[in-house]
């Protein structure tokens, strides 16, 4: 058997291993590995599986919080207590490289994989979100990728039967080659009904359940741990193929089999397939396994041992079943007409032995393969990029205030990074399961109903990568703050965070500097809001070709956050309710246009600092908003973010066809007042009946607030200048993306 021959350092390099890593493998084994064993180490020691270039810094993130039930790294997903004897499992992960090569299947299998992480723990997925980054919308390739990604997410999620309740889409040139597709899933489980990803109990049976194993996705983890290149399309076998109907069956069977009490441990077969599940579960349980690869159900004949071990075919699980209760496992999966095959057993020690037709084809130590065990750990060199000093040289006084701000307002309302994402979200089923409370009552975060409870979940994904590029520490802190602000503006209290850290090549010291400082900013903000990081995903090697140069994508540390709404009847909306209501700004506007969409799209200025932001000020604003919503003295609540104050007002007004009349601050440039993106600001509307209580609360808070003006029947007026009618802005806002994608 060719795969049993000794390998060399040259073979190791071809599989993505460093020479020193090959030497370490030889030391661990006491001999040179055969090809099966080298392939095992190449995927398990890839960045995608081992986090070897990131784990040192990931360990500095806060992991303690008031609701925590499972810390980062302990389980397949984060787990937090939400009261009423319920817990929430949630996680976000990337599927960037597969989606850049084969957008439909790449995005679809990203959705499938993240949902399996949730229901493998025993939680039923109830909501999905996504964060997408594409290149220039004028490029035909961008449109092709976007069509494929959105259809892949929609087709898989819709067929699987879990609503897509929120997300974000951005367009920047740096994503022209390497798009970003981050998928998030949220699930609910009763206390005491979760299952661990662990192997234990000598003699217990090891089952593979779900789909048959094929050659799709082989070396997918290695593929995700390197740069895309002009021949990457030839790596299509590294892209998995998904089947949402099979996944739906697997979901129901998994939850049913957990209820039998026969399951000792269970893990999804995601990156690196069988070898990942067997090694991680064994290492956690301090046991070994004997696995017979010839017993694995396969879709193709004559698959090599390494192909079976590394395949990332979708909709598969590894189950360790309690000895003597195998019949319970078999009965459930027979009912759901799914493969259920015993392929091995749990043994003493920590050795994994893999056989093919009774021939031992690989023997490795489980602990030596995994993160926290023998997998290598590196702390890369980093240095401040030259552009960072250039950003700080930005001077607002060198930018002239446009003579006609109405033109700017309409341009921003129709900008691809600001306009309605209706073309995207209408392809997603947002109402399946009847738990999405945001469809008829739009809010800053998605609100997901918890049935048979007073409570609801508020969920959000956020990251303005332009801010992070401008200043990674400040920009990432802003990403956390905005996720929290969105949850607070719905009436929720932030609970915990999952993250998807998308960066360029970690061997580039300037990229690694962005990564390190993003982690520092995230830590600072998460500690302030008491939102521990429960886990997530690191995606390095995201590069795009601009001209003749390979340029890293903007550092994009996407923040997924959940919050708890204690009384869903008091959940807030961002929509203005009635003409005549007063409009207030909570927080203070600044003389700042740094890193704003206005500055970039109007003046083509790409080098400026992150917007003004003070973490203490942000916290105080959010605490005030929580109090205002609880007391019921506001009609609407909407944060100020992309596009600035004007766009926030517009978004609140459009929903019911209303308008607004406001006055600007004479101490602040008018373009900064309307379109600047300084942080820690929230727009609220207040009825006449609510006014006395509202004024009393905000006056006692010590937080700056301003009476901006009044809600109108539809006209938009700024400092007595007519900016037009809400109907023309609604047309620009709603139809821009649909128009672009139509041709």
- Catalytically active residues are 48, 95
φ, ψ of residue 400 in degrees (nearest 5): -80, 145
Closest CA to 552 of 222, 170, 178, 172: 178
Distance CA 376, CA 373 (A): 8
Separation of CA 43 from chain center:
23
Whether the CA torsion 442, 445, 449, 453 is positive or negative: it is: negative
Question: Distances from the Cα of 172 to the Cαs of 267, 416, 476, 508, in angstroms?
Answer: 36, 10, 18, 21
Annotate 687-726 with three-state secondary structure: CHHHHHHHHHHHHHHCCCEEEEEEEECCEEEECCEEEEEH
Helices (H), 226-321: 244-259, 273-285, 305-310
Task: Name the β-bridge partners of 637.
Answer: 684
Return d(Cα 588, Cα 672) in angstroms, integer.
12
Residue 515 main-chain phi, psi, to 5 deg: -65, -50
For residues 469 and 555, is the Cβ–Cβ distance under 8 A? Answer: yes
Q: How many CB atoms lie within 10 A of CB 388?
A: 18
CA distance 669 to 671: 6
Coil/strand/helix, residue 496: strand
CA-angle at 187, arms to 157 and 341, nearest 5°: 75
| Cα–Cα distance for residue pair 85/545, rounded to 1 Å | 50
CA distances to 26, 482, 648, 659, 731 from 654, rounded to whole Å, are: 65, 22, 10, 7, 10
Cα dihedral 213, 218, 221, 227 sign: negative
């Amino acid at each position: 058997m060719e795969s049993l021959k000794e390998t060399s350092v040259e073979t190791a390099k071809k599989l993505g291993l460093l020479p020193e890593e090959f030497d370490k493998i030889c030391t661990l084994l006491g001999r040179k590995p055969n090809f099966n064993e080298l392939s095992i180490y190449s995927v398990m020691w890839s960045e995608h599986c081992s986090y070897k270039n990131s784990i040192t810094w990931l360990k500095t993130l806060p992991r303690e919080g008031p609701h925590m039930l499972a810390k980062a790294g302990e389980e397949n997903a984060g787990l937090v207590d939400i009261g009423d004897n319920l817990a929430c499992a949630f996680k976000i992960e990337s599927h960037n490289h597969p989606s850049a090569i084969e957008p439909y299947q790449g995005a679809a299998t990203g959705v499938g994989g993240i949902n399996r992480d949730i229901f493998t723990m025993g939680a039923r997925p109830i909501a999905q979100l996504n964060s997408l980054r594409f290149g220039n919308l004028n490029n035909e390739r961008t449109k092709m990728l976007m069509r494929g990604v959105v259809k892949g997410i929609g087709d898989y999620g819709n067929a699987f039967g879990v609503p897509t309740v929120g997300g974000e889409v951005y367009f920047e040139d740096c994503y022209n080659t390497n798009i970003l597709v981050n998928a998030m899933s949220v699930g609910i489980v009763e206390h005491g009904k979760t299952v661990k990803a662990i192997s234990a109990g000598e003699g217990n049976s090891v089952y593979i359940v779900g789909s048959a194993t094929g050659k799709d996705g082989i070396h997918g983890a290695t593929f995700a741990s390197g740069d895309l290149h002009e021949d990457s399309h030839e790596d299509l076998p590294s892209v998995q193929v998904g089947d949402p109907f099979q996944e739906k069956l697997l979901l129901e069977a998994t939850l049913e089999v957990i209820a039998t009490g026969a399951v000792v441990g269970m893990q999804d077969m995601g990156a690196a397939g069988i070898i990942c599940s067997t090694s991680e579960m064994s290492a956690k349980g301090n046991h070994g396994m004997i696995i017979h690869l010839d017993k694995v159900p396969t879709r193709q004949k004559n698959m090599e041992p390494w192909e079976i071990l590394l395949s990332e075919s979708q909709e598969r699980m590894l189950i360790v079943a309690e000895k003597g209760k195998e019949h319970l496992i078999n009965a459930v999966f027979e009912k759901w007409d799914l493969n259920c095959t015993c392929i091995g057993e749990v043994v003493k020690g920590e050795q994994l032995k893999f056989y093919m037709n009774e021939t031992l084809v690989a023997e490795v130590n489980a602990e030596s393969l995994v993160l926290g065990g023998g997998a290598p750990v590196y702390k890369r060199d980093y240095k401040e990029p030259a552009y960072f000093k250039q950003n700080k040289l930005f001077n607002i006084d060198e930018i002239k205030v446009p003579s006609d701000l109405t033109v700017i307002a309409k341009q921003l309302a129709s900008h691809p990074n600001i306009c309605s994402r209706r073309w995207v979200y209408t392809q997603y089923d947002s109402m399946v399961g009847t738990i999405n409370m945001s469809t008829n009552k739009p809010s800053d975060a998605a609100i997901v109903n918890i049935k048979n409870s007073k409570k609801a979940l508020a969920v959000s994904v956020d990251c303005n990568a332009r801010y992070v590029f401008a200043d990674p520490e400040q920009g990432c802190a802003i990403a956390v703050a905005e996720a929290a602000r969105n949850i607070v503006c719905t009436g929720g209290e932030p609970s915990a965070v999952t993250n998807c850290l998308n960066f360029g090549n970690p061997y580039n010291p300037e990229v690694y500097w962005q990564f390190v400082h993003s982690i520092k900013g995230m830590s600072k903000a998460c500690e302030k809001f008491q939102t521990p990081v429960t886990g997530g995903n690191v995606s390095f090697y995201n590069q795009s070709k601009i001209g003749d140069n390979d340029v890293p994508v903007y550092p994009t540390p996407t923040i997924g956050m959940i919050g708890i709404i204690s009384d869903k009847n008091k959940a807030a909306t961002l929509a203005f309710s009635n003409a005549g209501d007063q409009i207030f700004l909570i927080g203070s506007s600044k003389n700042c246009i740094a890193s704003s969409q206005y500055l970039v799209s109007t003046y083509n200025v790409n080098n400026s600092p992150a917007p003004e932001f003070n973490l203490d000020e942000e916290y105080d604003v959010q605490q005030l908003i929580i109090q205002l919503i609880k007391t019921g003295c506001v009609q609407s609540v909407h944060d100020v973010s992309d596009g600035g104050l004007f766009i926030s007002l517009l978004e609140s007004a459009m929903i019911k066809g209303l308008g607004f009349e406001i006055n600007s601050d004479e101490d602040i440039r008018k373009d900064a007042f309307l379109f600047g993106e300084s942080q820690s600001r929230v727009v609220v509307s207040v009825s006449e009946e609510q006014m006395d209580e509202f004024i009393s609360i905000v006056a006692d808070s010590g937080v700056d607030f301003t009476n901006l003006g009044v809600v109108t029947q539809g006209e938009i007026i700024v400092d007595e200048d007519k900016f037009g009618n809400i109907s023309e802005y609604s047309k620009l806002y709603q139809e821009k993306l649909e128009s672009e994608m139509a041709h």
